[in-house]
Structure 1
């Protein structure tokens, strides 16, 4: 069993098929299939099952996947730590961000990263906070910015920013100075669909008080919800930082509460993987960014 074969195996599982895995690895598919077959022969277990839609791991494959990810992570950290002997470490770091955060922060982060770590490579992956949290636990990310993540014994959280949620209405709407929680039920709503972090927070706070919103439509992205509000379809609930695009200034908004509903952006790091110089430096860069100017 070689690390190279484990890397091939993990890549095929993540890609969901031999053909996509071969494309990621820049290998011929027959060569990749042969390496997986050699790995199965060596272990005496069938690891993958071909289906009409690709491949899925067997029970033995799922068990190996956990160990393979850990072994590959240890190997990568060993290389990174040796690279830290240089004044400017090399290596690669993968950072996860929600889309609306990545839209404003990817450019300044990458610019600062290139200045501080010219020999290293940074990858920014976008996704919903729930999916990013799971990817961080699974070892697919080194760091992640998350909105209101569920607690986990495997992750450490560093608070970066808190914002109050606002009721945002179509242009020319008349809103009171503040909107009480119970009064939110009177407004037709366009909301991000679960598992969006804002939606989960809103449902949790209102559900515990027996308040049911009048939801007209659910959408997959915050910007889509804002676009629908701009056309007059309904209202939405968002933090101020989500209203940064041209035309958003025309949308009436009002604070919610009392009590106010706060959402939080945190920097999440895995507890089980000691930070290298590169991960510590990138975490510091993230903490130095201005999260309110997005």
Structure 2
């Protein structure tokens, strides 16, 4: 199959129209239609159906679209790899991070990236670990930092650091030096809502111990959780880095959980099937070299 024809086909599907795709490709519409027709003739399948509002892909077209994107991406990466051999790599790399990790690391990462790869561009996307993992598998980013990701045959994981979880209480509340897991049921809780990685980890540890939390409210953003704790609504469970980065470490009492302690892990995830370029390999190495403990957490 001709890569140029595949590119034309992908653009038509994404645009939903031959005319819009022709404008985006700077190509005459009859030429674009002819190239797609040649592709259909070669494959012996109808790929597109014209409708009153444009065009849509057939079942065969949807199947080809998946393979076309993979082949075009591989071709682009091969071109970048060969072009950049012996020089500073160019191109673009997309890195996903949870918000509090991005807050602690983005400045250092971008600064070091610019020093090492002056001809390249880095994009940092923020989101929950679950959504970042889905985007990584779907091919929308090159690598991601994830908290406690589940096993996946599509991803390769490298653990970068571990953090202990703490109980965080409202102002003026006295906590013991360590908070036993069995006593957590005594604390009214404001927790991150599922599918937050911390919430999933806590639930997984407490369920077999038959510890049922008094959950008063569930909130998506960690900063909102801590604001509710600061207002006296209830306690919460978070890593120390979340407390420190948010600025509440001097106003809210907190103590480590245990025994046994609960730890979460920050992991670098890269897709196994996607060919790595020199830029993505060296960016992954750059992430491994960053001082995560000094910038994301202040654990002793």
* Contact 2:216–2:234 (8 Å) recurs in 1: yes
Deviates more, 1:234-243 or 1:38-47: 38-47
* Contact 1:98–1:129 (8 Å) recurs in 2: yes
Larger Rg belongs to: 2
Q: 2:192 is matched with which residue?
A: 192
Cα separation, 2, equivalents of 1:49 and 1:200: 46
Query: Normalized against structure 2, the TM-score is what?
Result: 0.83
Q: 1:154 is matched with which residue?
A: 154
Cα separation, 1, equivalents of 2:272 and 2:48: 29
SS of match in other structure, 2:292: coil
Query: What do you get for the CA RMSD once the two structures are aligned?
Result: 3.2
Query: Normalized against structure 1, the TM-score is what?
Result: 0.85
- Once the two structures are TM-superposed, the CA of residue 58 in structure 1 deviates from its matched residue by 5.1
Cα separation, 1, equivalents of 2:99 and 2:8: 29
Q: How many residues align?
A: 288
Q: 1:174 is matched with which residue?
A: 174
SS of match in other structure, 1:248: coil
Cα separation, 2, equivalents of 1:133 and 1:207: 25
Give matches, 1:1-294, under 5 Å: 3=3, 6-7=6-7, 18=16, 27=24, 39=36, 42-43=39-40, 44-47=45-48, 59-243=59-243, 244-292=245-293, 293-294=295-296
Cα separation, 1, equivalents of 2:110 and 2:93: 11
Cα separation, 2, equivalents of 1:221 and 1:50: 42
Cα separation, 2, equivalents of 1:169 and 1:51: 59
Cα separation, 2, equivalents of 1:120 and 1:81: 13
Deviates more, 1:131-140 or 1:58-67: 58-67
Consecutive unaligned residues in structure 1, runs of 5 or more: none
**CA 1:130–1:36 in 2, change beyond 3 Å: closer, same or farther?**
farther
CA deviation profile, 1:72-103 (whole Å, cap 9, x unmatched): 22112111211222421111111111111111
Cα separation, 2, equivalents of 1:31 and 1:199: 53
- Once the two structures are TM-superposed, the CA of residue 8 in structure 1 deviates from its matched residue by 6.6
